Amino acid sequence: MKRNTYFFVAFSVGKRIQESCGRMMKKLSGRTEQPSLQTKMEIFTDGNDDYTYVLPDYYADTCIDYGQLVKIRKNGRVVRKEKRIIYGNPDPGDIETTDVENYNGILRERIGRLVRKTKCFSKRRQMLEYSLHVFQFYWNFINEFKRRTTPAMLEGLADHLWTWHEFFYFQSTILD
Q: Has residue 71 got a pLDDT over 60?
A: yes
- 117 pLDDT exceeds 80? no
Task: Give yes or no for a contact between 127 and 113, defined as CB atoms under 8 angstroms apart.
Answer: yes
**14-37: string of b/e by CB count within 10 Å (b at 16+)?**
eeeeeebbbbbbeebbeeeeebee
pLDDT band at 145 (very low <50, low <70, confident <90, very high): confident
Q: Of how many residues is the chain composed? A: 176
Q: Comparing C-alpha atoms, which of 11, 18, 19, 83 is closest to residue 47?
A: 83
Q: pLDDT confidence of 113, banded at 50, 70, 90? A: confident
Closest by CA to 167, choosing from 145, 150, 147, is 150
- Give CA–CA dist 65/29, Å, rounded: 15
Residue 140 clears pLDDT 60, i.e. is over it? yes
Q: Which residues, at least 6 apart from 48, have a Cβ–Cβ distance to it below 8 Å?
A: 16, 21
DSSP structure class, residue 160? S
Q: What is the pLDDT of residue 174?
A: 56
pLDDT for 116? 72
Q: What is the DSSP letter of 119?
A: T
Query: How does pLDDT run across 15-54, given as a tens digit for each residue?
Result: 888 999 999 999 999 999 999 999 999 999 998 999 999 9
- Residues whose CB falls within 8 Å of the CB of residue 104, separated by 6 or more in sequence, listed in order: none
Average pLDDT over residues 140-162: 93
For residues 72 and 80, the answer to whether their CB atoms sit within 8 Å is yes
Q: Which of helix, strand or coil describes residue 77?
A: strand
Cα distances from 13 to residues 21, 121, 128, in angstroms, run 10, 14, 8
Closest CA to 94 of 3, 155, 28, 9: 3
Is residue 34 within 8 A of residue 58, CB to CB? The reply is: no
Is residue 159 predicted with pLDDT exceeding 90?
A: yes
